[in-house]
Structure 1
Amino acid sequence: MKQRIQHIHLTGIGGIGMSGIAELLHNQGFTVQGSDMNENANVRRLRELGIVVSIGHRAENIAGADVVVVSSAIAADNVEIVAAREQGIPVIPRAEMLAELMRMKQGIAIAGSHGKTTITSLIAHGMEAAGLDPTYVIGGRLIASGSNARLGESPWLVAEADESDGSFLRLSPMIAVVSNIDPEHLDHYGSFDALLDAFRQFVNRVPFYGRVVLHHEHPHVAALRADLHKPVTTYGSSAQADLHLVESTSDASGQFFTAAMADGTDLGRFRLALPGRHNAENALAAVAVLLDLGIDLEVIRSALARFEGIQRRFQCTALGPGTLIDDYGHHPREVMATLATARRCWPDREITVIFQPHRYTRTRDLMQQFFGAFDDAHTVALLPVYAAGEPPIEGADSRAIGEG
């Protein structure tokens, strides 16, 4: 690619996924620039790296670009996209650029409705601990480095696979992980069956000599195995899973959990800074991948114990007599998992939730699930919906959630 492309513009560069791609391209020596509608921490970090970021979308922003990479949140009539097409400059989605980066390496792609960022982070961290020096792009910033992207020297690239617009089907990973599949993004797919079919296509993009890692207890994920004729590893809480959780105990500082294999092999005890049984299962998905890469179990155990966590993933800040937890979860299942974890960690505390729904379409499609999502909270404050570029939908707002 570098022989033909030198100057890359990213429209919507301030998003977490786009900023990670920008950082990787910059570190590979490309001239990278971009634009976003708002200043944020991602924009500030990119500027610190020397990347030019314009606030606001304007046709002149794309001057000199050989290609324009566009976020899924950017509309087709965006002034920069229109200008690029008028000038004959290729316009590609973020996933196509990620696929190009993965094409030059051996990819590990993590897909699913929930847990992608945690699993991806743990895999990348474990590979670094083992000296494998991976490249990675993560949908959240690691607390240890403050970054969500890194350019490594090894042939491995670890990345989240975004199913929201079907663009994960551009990826051809060596190893694929699917954590769960919930009825989401139906505005794009049209039906849940179409979403399930997309996941079937995704796991079948893994070559016959690769590996697919599946959550054993999730029925729609487990059903993917029927269509696969390649190595599969399952994980979960059931003893029938290839790697399964035996016991977990959480407190405010994290958790200890024990795990075993289906043949009875004891994997021993693990320490993880992330509380919650769902995070223990996320860790097992990472363990499955790391073992497949030939990493010693004791190296994996040590890596999990030293993992400091991810920004905005049950990130705790002490505030005098209270504790502030910042969590990115915006799906009802994620909300319930976060609140259940908080309840286990602080059983005698009152829990107050401040929640901002994300996207009108998601709020509409998941309205019934939101009605019971806050049962573990004493008090709930609902902020206006974060539109992410979508127009309002009548009845799909915070008031409707509160009245449900």
Structure 2
Amino acid sequence: MRLPWKYFHFVGIGGIGMSGLAQVLTDLGFKVTGSDISENALTQLLKKRGVKVFLGHRPEQVKLAEAVVVSSAISRDNPEWKSARENNIPVISRGMLLSYLMDQKRGIAVAGTHGKTTTSALISTILKSSGLDPMAIIGGMVNGSNAWLGRGDYLVAEADESDGSFLLLSPEIAVITNIDADHLDYYKTFLSIKAAFSRFINNILPSGVAVICGDDPHLKGIVSKAKRPYISYGLSEDCHYQAKGLLLNNQITQFDVYGYGKKIGSVSLRLLGIHNVYNALAAFAVAQRLGIPPEITIKGLGQFNGVARRLEIKGEKRKILIIDDYGHHPTEIRAVLSTIKKNWPKRRLITVFQPHRYTRTKMLYKEFLTAFLKTDLLIITEVYAASESPIPGVSGEWLARGIKIPKKKRFCRDLDDAFEYLLPELRPYDIVLTLGAGDIWKLGEMLLAEL
């Protein structure tokens, strides 16, 4: 694979998207270094692959690099970014680097507000099962990694709409799982979000196709005006690929797949929830487009064990079940709570939610107020800031005060505070759900160690 540079330095290499690109470049034989403010599992994984990872951002760490890669979380006054500019070293975005890779492959880009990671992982798993050996760059951990090289023709990657960088991609197949109000700090209005997805569809290669959720009214409106053909999936009768005969109880997800009105086969998933039926349908539609035999697709779907932090069962002690999920948007929260209640209807559900970003907490405040109706006890921690500065008046406590249902709720400043409150509160057959895109997952491990 050819790129304009041979030595890349990643600023913020420990992020899920940045680390995946760094892994792929390392496996391709490029020299890769990077920096981050702290160590995590991803930086440790990169170190094992021979990548030099610096702790902290310092100007001298980029001076030998031929290109510096940054994500939207990195500000222009970062000392390494400033040093690159002063030394005339090209600074490229994560999205631009992904576009360089995708331009040399047959790209399958997965976009949408919810479900990108699981759908990308399902598509990659099916392609691997069929012998197509794809390159994959995924926004979550699957079997211990978020990227693999692959020697085949395809690149499966998440297309990040949060900063508009998905508009740099020109895939052969673009999957769009749904469109919802999110990242309003960047887009300002929902109309702008829809306009961006419209442009994304029109960026598909002329020989390509969009694969869209036909049950999403916003997507149906967009594709009707698009310049590219589309394939739809969903539960509605007018979808090209449809799931029927759903069985979502007893921790089993089963359904029949129909394509263009004819039954293709029956799928059994190890994943829970109606949202994962949609994710699996999207992957099935892609596989059909690529000519993969249905029996291989069904086998791949059945063998998939899930993505870390997506309804992940962390363990059970003293008959107390600990589940962790990455959900941080009101729509995702509702889906996760509904799925747990459907599969464990008689157990008390305790949800510990860590809001992610001040801007999201402020802009989706009204939606958050009704997102937790299906939990029995709600604990809200302080906002996980990510790269943001605090917004006056916006806090976890402010959000907790506004929520009326469930009536039993509590604000806890941090994980230690939540741990001290929860431990004596727990009783057999409780389910504790840790929820959020920050470091709330650590609480589940703290509880399992103590129970």
Common fold by TM > 0.5: yes
**Structure 1 residue 136 and structure 2 residue 133: aligned?**
no
For the residue of structure 2 that corresponds to 1:213, the secondary structure is: strand
Out of 143, 146, 154, the position equivalent to 2:144 is 146
Going from structure 1 to structure 2, the CA distance change for 1:4 and 1:277 (only over 3 Å counts) comes to closer
- Superposed CA offset, 1:103-156 (max 9, x none): 1111000100000001100000000000000001000010xx311101111111
- Aligned partner (choices 320, 329, 333) of residue 331 of structure 2: 333
Whether the aligned pair in 1 keeps the contact of 2:198 and 2:223 (CA below 8 Å) is no
Secondary structure at the residue paired with 2:121?
A: helix
Listed as ranges, the matches of 1:5-404 within 5 Å are 5-142=5-142, 145-251=143-249, 253-261=251-259, 263-320=260-317, 321-404=319-402
Q: 1:229: Cα distance to partner?
A: 3.5
Q: Does the 8 A contact of 2:63 with 2:83 survive in 1?
A: no
Code of the residue aligned with 2:72 in structure 1: it is: S
Cα–Cα, structure 1 residues 38 and 251, in superposed 2: closer, same or farther, change >3 Å? farther
Paired residues of 1:367 and 1:396 also in contact (CA < 8 A): no
Q: Any idea what SS the aligned residue of 1:340 has?
A: helix
Three-state SS of the structure 1 residue aligned to 2:8 is strand
Q: What is the rounded CA distance, in whole Å, between the counterparts of 1:390 and 1:83 in structure 2? A: 23
Matches of 1:70 and 1:126, distance apart in 2: 31
The structure-2 alpha-carbon separation of the partners of 1:3 and 1:194, relative to structure 1 and needing over 3 Å to count, comes to closer
CA distance in 2, matches of 1:233, 1:80: 44
- Superposed CA deviations along residues 328-351 of structure 1, whole A, max 9, x for unmatched, are 111111111011100011000000
The list of structure 1 runs, each at least 4 consecutive aligned residues, that deviate by more than 6 angstroms after superposition, is none
Q: How high is the sequence identity, in percent, across the aligned residues?
A: 44
- Range with bigger deviation, 18-27 or 252-261: 252-261
**3-state SS in 2 of match to 1:403:** helix
| In 2, Cα distance between equivalents of 1:89 and 1:192 | 36
Aligned CA distance change for structure 1 residues 8 and 51 (closer, same or farther; 3 Å): same
Please, what TM-score do these two structures have when normalized by structure 1?
0.97
TM-superposed CA distance for 1:185, in Å, is 1.3
The 8 Å contact of residues 13 and 71 in structure 1, kept in 2 or not, is answered as no
Counterpart Cα distance in 1 of 2:221 and 2:128 = 32
- Measured in 2, the distance between the counterparts of 1:347 and 1:4 equals 56
> 1:2: Cα distance to partner?
4.6
Structure 2 CA distance, aligned partners of 1:197 and 1:336? 26
Q: RMSD over aligned Cα, in angstroms?
A: 1.3
Q: Aligned letter for 1:29?
A: G
**Which region of structure 1 is more displaced relative to structure 2, 355-364 or 222-231?**
222-231
Q: Could you tell me how far 1:264 is from its partner in structure 2? A: 2.3
**Shift, 1:243, TM fit:** 0.8
What is the TM-score normalised by the length of structure 2? 0.87
* Cα offset, 1:217, TM superposition: 1.3
1:3 Cα offset (Å): 6.7
Deviates more, 1:2-11 or 1:238-247: 2-11
Inter-CA distance 348–68: structure 2 relative to 1 (3 Å threshold): same
Q: Check whether the contact 2:265–2:294 (CA below 8 A) recurs between aligned residues.
A: no
How many Å separate the matches in 2 of 1:44 and 1:207?
37
Count the aligned residue pairs. 401
CA distance 1:256–1:7, change in 2 (3 Å)? same
SS at match of 1:375: coil
Contact between 2:249 and 2:343, CA under 8 Å: does it hold in 1? Answer: yes
CA offsets, 1:1-38, max 9 Å, x none?
A: 85741110000100000000000000000010101111
Code of the residue aligned with 1:313 in structure 2: it is R
Give the whole-Å Cα distance in 2 for the aligned partners of 1:254 and 1:125.
20
Paired residues of 1:216 and 1:222 also in contact (CA < 8 A): yes
Deviations 1:223-259 (A, max 9, x none): 1212224331101111111111213223464411222
Q: Are the counterparts in 2 of residues 208 and 231 from structure 1 also a CA contact under 8 Å?
A: no
Aligned-partner Cα distance in 2 for 1:192–1:212: 21
Offset of 1:394 from its aligned partner? 2.1
Partner of 2:42, secondary structure, is: helix
Q: What is the aligned partner in structure 1 of residue 437 from structure 2?
A: none
Distance 1:395 1:237 in 2: 42
